[in-house]
Amino acid sequence: MPENEKLEEQKAKIIKTLATMFDYLGLNGNFRVEEKGAKLAVKIASEDAGRIIGRKGQTLESLQLVLNRIMFKDNEEFPHVLLDIDGYGRGEREFREGGDRPRRERRPRREDGGHTPTEQLEQQAIDAAKEVKRWGEPVKMPEMNAHDRRIIHMTLKDDPEVQTESEGEGAFKKVVISLKK
C-alpha cells in the first residue's frame, strides 16, 4: 500500500475511534489530524473543552493513553498519537521539547541544569531498583497519579531482577518495587 494511502487510512481510523469515544462519553468535538514528524497530532475543537481536558489535564492525558493503546493493539507500527485541544495538551509541548525522538532516549538537561519531571521519575525508579537489589527489601514509592506510575513501570519493565506493582485505592497509588520471585 502506498505511504499516502496508509497515512490517510491511519488518520481515518483515529478520527473514527475518537468520535466513538466522544459519543460514549456524551461529548461533541471536531477533529483534525496533522503529521508532526513520526507522530500524528489530533487538534480537537469542542464546546466541552473543559470537560475533555479535565483537572490538570488528566482526562485529556487518559484519552490519549487509551487512544494509543487501541491504535497499537492491531498495529504495533502505528505512529504515536498526541491530543491537543485549544492549545492544551501534550501535543504542542512535546513538539517544542523535541517529541520526535525515540521515547526511551533521554532529553538533554535544561539550561538551568535541572531535569524534566519525567527524567526525575525515571531516576527515582532506577535508584529505588538499585536499593531493592542491594538490600533485598521492597521499596514503596510515594503516592502518584497513573501517568507518573506508568513512567516508573516502563522504566523498570526490562530489568530482569525487579518487578513493579501498583498498590492502593483511588487515583493516587504507590508503586512497590521488589525482587522478582
The string of pLDDT tens digits covering residues 106-136 is 344 444 455 568 888 999 999 999 989 988 8
The string of pLDDT tens digits covering residues 74-98 is 888 888 899 988 777 654 444 344 4
Nearest C-alpha neighbor of 139 from the set 174, 180, 173, 181: 174
Q: pLDDT band for 101, please (50, 70, 90 cuts).
A: very low
Name the CATH superfamily housing domain 3-96: K homology (KH) domain (3.30.300.20)
Name the CATH superfamily housing domain 117-179: R3H-like domain (3.30.1370.50)
**Taking the domains of the chain in order of start, what are their residue ranges?**
3-96, 117-179
pTM equals: 0.50
Contacts of 179 (CB under 8 A, 6+ apart): 132, 133, 136, 138, 161, 162, 163
CA 152/CA 47 separation, integer angstroms:
35
